[in-house]
Amino acid sequence: MTGRTKPRRSSLAIAAAEYNLEASRKNLKARKSDHLPTIDFSGGWNHNVTAPIVSQGIQIGGGAFDRTSLALSLSIPIYSGGAVSSRKRAAEYNVISAQESLNLTERQLTQNIRNAYRRVNTDVLVIAQRQQSITSAQSALDATELGAEVGTRNIVEVLRARENLYRALRQYADARYNYVLDSLILRQVAGILTPQDIIDLNEWLLL
């Protein structure tokens, strides 16, 4: 199984922490501008049509006219008991907190990947040991059954040898299961788990 995607870019926890940091920075930028003057510009245009009044055959008034209006306003914030400064300081603390949260998440991700990687390596070693145990148990069973045929071993020893073989097979199956589970956890923690990984592991289990 191979993966080209970098864990840091694929981790949902890292992405969430980065988005939180970016939002905190934008909020701080907005708070820094609270004390700056603002200019608002507005305008309007109306087109009115009035019907003429006819009295004794004489038409009075009526017609159309346009009206345009423009407005420019300047707002200068005044001192409001330190509320603006307090909001700015709070935004600064939020940025620091978000940055620390991102750093902590990155450290935790790195540690989790290392731990999962060590478990997978241990599983590989255990599988090799279990395979050797199966070989040894099978050889012992063959020797015991042969001894039973020539009369040097009894049925109890044969049953015990078979039990040892079945135990070795069960432990081998458990080791393979642990390897599959830990491999999936490793790729999930690293953020590189794909459907193809499931297919590859399924094929490996069929070997």
Residue in the structure block whose two tokens are 């080209």: 4
The amino acid that residue 199 corresponds to is: I
Q: Please tell me the least confidently modeled range out of 19-33, 70-84, 148-162.
A: 70-84
CATH number of 7-33+84-197: 1.20.1600.10
- Among the ranges 81-85, 150-154, 167-171, which has the highest mean pLDDT value? 167-171
- Among the ranges 72-81, 149-158, 166-175, 186-195, which has the highest mean pLDDT value? 166-175
Q: Where are the alpha helices (DSSP H) in the chain?
A: 7-10, 12-32, 83-150, 155-190, 195-205
Which residue, among 150, 188, 207, 206, has the nearest Cα to 5 in the 3D structure? Answer: 188
- 49 sits in the region (left: phi over 0; alpha: psi -120 to 50; else beta) called beta
Domain ranges of the chain: 7-33+84-197
Token pair in block for residue 176: 């393979």
The answer for residues whose C-beta is within 8 angstroms of residue 133's C-beta and 6 or more apart is 168, 171, 172
CA distance 130 to 54: 111
In this predicted structure, the answer to whether residue 93 has a pLDDT above a threshold of 80 is yes
The answer for residues whose C-beta is within 8 angstroms of residue 146's C-beta and 6 or more apart is none
pLDDT band for position 58 (cuts 50, 70, 90) = low
Q: Return the pLDDT at 1.
A: 43
